[in-house]
Structure 1
Amino acid sequence: MEREVMDLDAYVARTRTGPCYICAFLAGEPDYRHETVYEDDAHVAYLDRYPTLPGKVLVAPKAHIEHVVRDLDEAAYSRLMLVVRKVALAVEKVFAPERTYLLSLGSAQGNSHLHWHIAGLPQGVPYERQQYHALMTENGVLASTAQESADTANRLRRAIG
Structure 2
Amino acid sequence: MASKPCTFCQIIEGAVDAVRVYEDDAVVAFLDHRPVFHGHTLLVPKLHVRLLSDLPAERVPHFFTTAQRLERAVESGLDAHGSMILVNNVVSQSVPHLHLHVIPRRFKDGLRFWLGPRHPYRDAEAEDTAERIRRALAEQLG
User: Counterpart in 1 of 2:51?
Assistant: 67
Partner of 2:10: 24
Percentage identity across aligned positions? 26
Determine helix, strand or coil for the equivalent of 2:52: coil
Deviation at 1:79, TM superposition (A): 0.8
For residues 17-50 of structure 1, what are the alpha-carbon distances to aligned partners after superposition, in whole Å with 9 as ceiling and x for unaligned? 6321110111222xx3110100011100000011
With over 3 angstroms needed to count, the CA separation of the structure-2 counterparts of 1:97 and 1:82, relative to structure 1, is same
Q: How many residues align?
A: 112
| Structure 1 position 98, deviation (Å) | 2.7
TM-score if structure 2 supplies the norm length?
Answer: 0.70
* Mapping of residues 32-43 of structure 1, within 5 Å: 32-43=16-27
Contact 2:51 2:89 in 1 (8 A): no
Aligned partner of residue 58 in structure 1, secondary structure: strand
Matched, 1:97 2:80: yes
* Root mean square deviation of aligned Cα: 2.1
How many angstroms does 1:106 deviate by? 5.0
TM-score in terms of structure 1 length: 0.62
Query: Comparing both chains, which one has the higher relative contact order based on Cα–Cα distances under 8 Å and sequence gaps of 6 or more?
Result: 1
CA contact 2:39–2:74 (8 Å) conserved in 1? yes
Write out aligned runs for 1:4-153 (5 A).
18-29=4-15, 32-73=16-57, 75-105=58-88, 107=90, 110-126=94-110, 129-131=111-113
Gaps of 5+ in 2: 116-142
* Per-residue deviation, 1:130: 2.7
Q: Which has the higher helix share?
A: 1
SS in 1 for 2:86: strand
